[in-house]
Amino acid sequence: MGMDSLSILTPTKPITTSPVTSEEDPTNPSTALLSSSSTSTISSSSSSTFSHKPTTTILFIALALITCIAVAASIAFAFLFFASINTPKSSNSIESIARPLVKLKSPVVLLISSDGFRFGYQFKTPTPNIGRLIANGTEAETGLIPVFPTLTFPNHYSIVTGLYPAYHGIINNYFNDPITGEGFSMKSHESHWWLGEPLWQTVVNHGLIASTYFWPGSEVIKGSWNCPEKFCQQYNGSVPFDDRVDTVLGYFDLPSNEIPSFMTLYFEDPDHQGHKVGPDDPEITEAVANIDRVIGKLIQGLEKRGIFEDVNIIMVGDHGMVGTCDKKLVFVEDLAPWIDIPASWIQSYTPLLSIKPPAGVSASDVVAKMMEGLRSGKVKNGMRLKMYLKKDLPDRLHYFESDRIPPIIGLVEEGFKVEQKTSKRQECGGAHGYDNAFFSMRTIFIGHGPQFARGRKVPSFENVQIYNMVTSILKIQGASNNGTASFAKSVLLQTP
């Protein structure tokens, strides 16, 4: 609560970088409104005058009008000049205050994930419904940046905790506990794996209701979150997307004090197709069109209930997708002349190669020998793989502070894969999990609703910022996390 009352008193930090400012300046709505209204008033009155008066009067009136226009323009310029000094440049000067709720009693955030929705997919085919959210909402102009590794579970859990994987504990889709040796998989619902405080827990902590229609970690019973049957769906990928939308819409038909303040909604597509056929295939185009159709169904359902403009919809993906093909491979067995790495040392192969050598084998020795082999020119695609001790990974990856992260990490270049040994298998498809600096790993961020300015573009940001956006919209104090409260608030319209 303290955080929010503070934000009302203190103007939020302008949303920094110049791209936004320069994007918004030419289309500054206040400029448009002022100039069009002043000219239109004048021209309409003048047209009625013209038809009835003699020429001298016309000339006189014309001169008078020109004077009026000049005066009006100078007043407008003066107004804009002072307005630009007094208002933060980043915020849309016409729309900086959140729009009031019309029908709902309190704010609702609906967080939607379309898995593997690579940034740019929205241009593959007409997407009128997603397009509507973008046109009337706030969009990360060049996409949302996933966390590293750009995988489904680490990213979904970062979105709802605001934490990097090293801090929320889900450091991969599969990994082993370094102490007990116990394995984590995407079906592990034991609470000890899942660190941090996910949004559904934060929401319930504040006496509000949360609902989850699938989200990694949502079935985990932890703290105040007991995954209630009514509002917490157990994962079942075979439930048709339309049914999921119908169930979520049904929550809005509940008595107002039973409507969840925070809801999740998850779709497996187009990730599913992306893996099979890669990002550039008609199947992806169809999957994207279908997601757009489902979003359309959701919008219609909300409109029918008169609450489309009241709900804060945040639509995101977890990561992007890049094409992979059989020649773009690095084989671990090719390193045998330098070092023999048995499959038992390897926790994951690709695109994130993570290795835990047994006790007594020096990790730095393994890295040095692997790098010698990879740089020898004798290993196929050796130059495409770079090995690190995890402590030497670039800081921007934030992939160090967890003993669950194995000591040796290999980063492979975009579109390449690592396998243990050569096989006859030839296949092309798609993958993700690479360095989050690759543009192909980016996904979408769209915010639509009372707290998101219409038609606004913001620079790309990391998905750990979303947690604070949600708590800020719901006016609740979130748990500490890796996002910055001031950034989250700068993306939102301020509450009056």
Query: What stretch of H or E contains 139?
Result: strand 138-140
Q: Which stretch binds Zn ion (CB under 5 A): 264-272, 363-371, 467-475, 477-485?
A: 264-272
Number of residues that bind Zn ion (CB under 5 A): 1
**Considering only 11-19, 229-237, 256-264, 271-279, which stretch makes contact with Zn ion by CB under 5 A?**
271-279
Torsion on CA atoms 89, 90, 94, 97, rounded to nearest 10: -120
Q: How far is the CB of 311 from Zn ion (least distance, A)?
A: 28
Q: How far is the CB of 321 from Zn ion (least distance, A)?
A: 7
Q: In which region does residue 433 sit, left (phi positive, over 0), alpha (psi from -120 to 50) or beta (all else)?
A: left
Report in angstroms how near the CB of residue 285 gets to Zn ion at its nearest.
18
Q: Are strands 210-213 and 262-267 parallel, antiparallel or unpaired?
A: parallel
CB of 329 vs Zn ion, minimal distance in Å: 19
Q: Which is nearer to Zn ion, 24 or 271 (CB)?
A: 271
Q: Given the complex with Zn ion, which of 272 and 305 has the nearer CB atom?
A: 272
Sign of the C-alpha dihedral computed for residues 436, 437, 438 and 439 taken in this order:
positive
Q: How many CB atoms lie within 10 A of CB 378?
A: 12
- Provide, rounded to whole angstroms, the least separation between the CB of residue 19 and Zn ion: 30
DSSP, residue by residue, 13-59: PP---HHHHHHHTTT-HHHHHHHHHHHHHHHHHHHHHHTTS-HHHHH
Min separation Cβ 118 and Zn ion, Å: 11
Compare residues 197 and 271 and give the one whose CB is closer to Zn ion: 271
90/463 with CB nearer Zn ion: 463
Judged by CB under 5 A, the stretch of 215-223, 244-252, 266-274, 280-288 that binds Zn ion is 266-274
Q: Which stretch binds Zn ion (CB under 5 A): 196-204, 216-224, 269-277, 416-424?
A: 269-277
Percent helix, strand, coil in the chain, to 5, is 40, 15, 45
Q: Which of residues 373-412 bind Zn ion (CB under 5 A)?
A: none
Closest CA to 395 of 433, 436, 445, 356: 436
Identify the three-state secondary structure at position 276. helix
Q: Sign of the C-alpha dihedral, residues 444, 295, 282, 275?
A: positive
If one asks whether residue 435 binds Zn ion (CB under 5 A), the answer comes out as: no
Partner residues linked to 409 by β-bridges:
354, 388
Quote the CA–CA distance of 190 and 244 in Å, as a whole number.
25
Part in contact with Zn ion (CB under 5 A); list of ranges 164-172, 173-181, 263-271, 421-429: 263-271
Which residue's CB is nearer to Zn ion, number 107 or number 146?
A: 146
| Minimum gap (Å) between residue 122 Cβ and Zn ion | 18
Residue-wise burial string across 416-443, b where 16 or more C-beta atoms lie within 10 A, e elsewhere: bbbeeeeeeeeeebbbbbbbbebebbbb
CB 302 within 8 A of CB 311: yes
Q: Which is nearer to Zn ion, 151 or 353 (CB)?
A: 151
Task: Please tell me the distance from the alpha carbon of residue 318 to that of residue 115, in angstroms, as a whole number.
Answer: 6
- CB 113, min distance to Zn ion, A: 12
Options 30-38, 80-88, 170-178, 268-276: segment touching Zn ion (CB under 5 A): 268-276
Q: Is 142 a catalytic residue?
A: no
Q: Which of 24, 139, 269, 271 binds Zn ion (CB under 5 A)?
A: 271
Are the C-beta atoms of 408 and 355 separated by less than 8 Å? yes
Nearer to Zn ion, 271 or 334 (CB): 271
Closest to Zn ion by CB, 310 vs 318, is 318
Residue 476's closest CA among 199, 101, 159, 160? 199
Query: Contact, 284 vs 124, CB < 8 A?
Result: yes
Closer Cβ to Zn ion, 271 or 414, answer by number: 271
Structure tokens at 442: 């980016």
Q: CB of 359: closest distance to Zn ion in angstroms?
A: 33
Task: Give yes or no for a contact between 311 and 104, defined as CB atoms under 8 angstroms apart.
Answer: yes
Catalytic residue, chosen from 127, 150, 152, 471, is: 152
In the bound complex, which residue of the shown chain has the CB atom lying closest to Zn ion? 271
Catalytic residues: 152
Question: What is the contact surface with Zn ion in residues (CB under 5 A)?
Answer: 271
